[in-house]
């Protein structure tokens, strides 16, 4: 009996030490629409593999979505679906902290503090701000402009070592590092300086119909973007319609052959094949055959995720349990950083 107690205590101690020494990860996706193949290949797919090695926090960045007008009921539906999709993509809620950003008030609180340590000039240089303000010319709001400071708060609250994102978010992780270094320069080592973690293949999935721009849920052409939970026949149809070129050879050349190279990237990410192997596989075969094979590979990649997401969505109580528990665990970590920051900047403790 006594021996058993000692062993249990030892295990708890070992787990605690392991947790302390594990590096930490934070990332998130905006639930502003259905998840895309781009966000899957660029981000989520790489998250599940990290759970054993890292202490992982994955959020649903719902506060960020408010920078563009949302339909309230749709936002709620997308948020719940995204919780289910995270789990269906292999994120075990016991091993990963899955939470909704707005459920942890520390994000908005630290976001405000960091607004005051972020410069107008550096925010003006953000590519996403320029793109989104061009797309939403009638709603260039302050939130759209200060978005990177809130994203910095998301990351810094958890003292994250790594931020796994697609290539388009690299600039935001860089400004987060600048803000953290500036703050640390004034107040000492308050924040861990995070590193971006960008996949080798799939970091930039392009639109199927205009391969010079990123695949995105805000794409005006519905055929350009593939959604993770889309019906197989729709996915297959979009790939059949994908833009290629008049050269009829499957060769990786992003500048000269952006459409074909994008399809090769997607196929490589979906199957683990190298570009050389793909070129050899389709040598002498037409584009029709190539596009069909890529479409089929994506359908098979996404099929189990769609089925599992639908299955999980039937159990709302379970999903609520997941995000409630996630918010509690996230808030515990986030509030420790927030208290430290409040103290450092001179806010009176309650």
Residues recognised as catalytic? 132, 214, 217
Output the six-digit token pair for 241. Answer: 């319609």
In angstroms, the CA 237 to CA 82 distance is 24
Instruction: Write the CA distances from 69 to 56, 62, 151, 291, integer angstroms.
Output: 30, 12, 19, 35
Output the six-digit token pair for 342. Answer: 């409040």
Contact letters for ligand TYM, residues 287-326 (x by CB under 6 A): ----------------------------------------
Contact letters for ligand TYM, residues 234-253 (x by CB under 6 A): --------------------
DSSP state of 44: I
From the list 25-33, 253-261, 279-287, 328-336, the region that binds ligand TYM by CB under 6 A is: 25-33
Answer yes or no: are the C-beta atoms of 163 and 42 closer than 8 Å: no
Q: Does 337 bind ligand TYM (CB under 6 A)?
A: no
Nearest of 167, 191, 168 to residue 179 by alpha carbon? 191
Q: How far is the CB of 241 from ligand TYM (least distance, A)?
A: 18
Size of the site for ligand TYM (CB under 6 A): 26
Instruction: By CB under 6 A, name the one of 78, 132, 177, 214 that touches ligand TYM.
Output: 214
From the list 138-146, 158-166, 243-251, 295-303, the region that binds ligand TYM by CB under 6 A is: 158-166
DSSP state of 88: H
In angstroms, the CA 22 to CA 39 distance is 26
Nearest of 268, 259, 172 to residue 211 by alpha carbon? 259
Nearest of 201, 199, 208 to residue 263 by alpha carbon? 208
Answer yes or no: are the C-beta atoms of 117 and 156 closer than 8 Å: no
From the list 73-81, 168-176, 257-265, 338-346, the region that binds ligand TYM by CB under 6 A is: 168-176
Q: Does 43 bind ligand TYM (CB under 6 A)?
A: yes
Q: Does 263 bind ligand TYM (CB under 6 A)?
A: no
Residue numbers at the binding site for ligand TYM (CB under 6 A): 26-30, 38-39, 42-43, 61, 64, 151, 154-155, 163, 165-166, 168-169, 172, 203-205, 214-216
């Amino acid at each position: 009996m006594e021996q058993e107690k000692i062993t249990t205590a030892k295990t708890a101690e070992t787990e605690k030490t392991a947790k302390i020494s594990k590096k930490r990860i934070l990332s998130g996706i905006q639930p502003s629409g259905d998840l895309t193949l781009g966000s899957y290949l660029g981000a989520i797919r790489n998250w599940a593999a990290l759970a054993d090695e890292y202490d992982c926090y994955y959020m649903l960045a719902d506060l960020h979505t408010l920078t563009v007008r949302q339909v309230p009921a749709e936002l709620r539906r997308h948020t719940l679906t995204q919780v289910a999709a995270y789990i269906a993509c292999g994120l075990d809620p016991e091993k990963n902290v899955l939470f909704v950003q707005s459920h942890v008030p520390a994000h908005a609180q630290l976001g405000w503090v960091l607004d005051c340590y972020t410069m107008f000039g550096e925010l003006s240089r953000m590519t996403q701000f320029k793109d989104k303000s061009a797309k939403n010319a009638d709603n260039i709001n302050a939130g759209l402009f200060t978005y990177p400071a809130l994203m910095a708060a998301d990351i810094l609250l958890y003292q994250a070592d790594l931020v796994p994102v697609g290539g388009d978010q690299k600039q935001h992780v860089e400004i987060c590092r600048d803000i953290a270094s500036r703050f640390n320069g004034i107040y000492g080592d308050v924040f861990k300086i995070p590193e971006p973690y960008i996949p080798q293949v799939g970091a930039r999935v392009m639109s199927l119909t205009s391969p010079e721009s990123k695949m995105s849920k805000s794409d005006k052409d519905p055929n350009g973007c593939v959604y993770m939970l889309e019906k197989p026949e729709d996915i297959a149809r979009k790939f059949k319609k994908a833009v290629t070129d008049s050269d009829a050879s499957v060769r990786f050349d992003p500048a000269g052959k952006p459409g074909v190279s994008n399809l090769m990237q997607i196929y490589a990410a979906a199957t683990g094949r190298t570009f050389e192997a793909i070129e050899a596989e389709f040598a002498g075969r037409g584009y029709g055959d190539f596009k069909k094979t890529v479409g089929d590979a994506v359908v098979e990649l996404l099929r189990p995720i769609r089925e599992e997401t639908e299955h999980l969505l039937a159990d709302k109580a379970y999903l609520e349990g997941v995000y409630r528990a996630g918010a509690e665990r996230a808030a515990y970590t986030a509030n420790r950083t927030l208290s430290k920051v409040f103290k450092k900047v001179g806010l009176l403790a309650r």
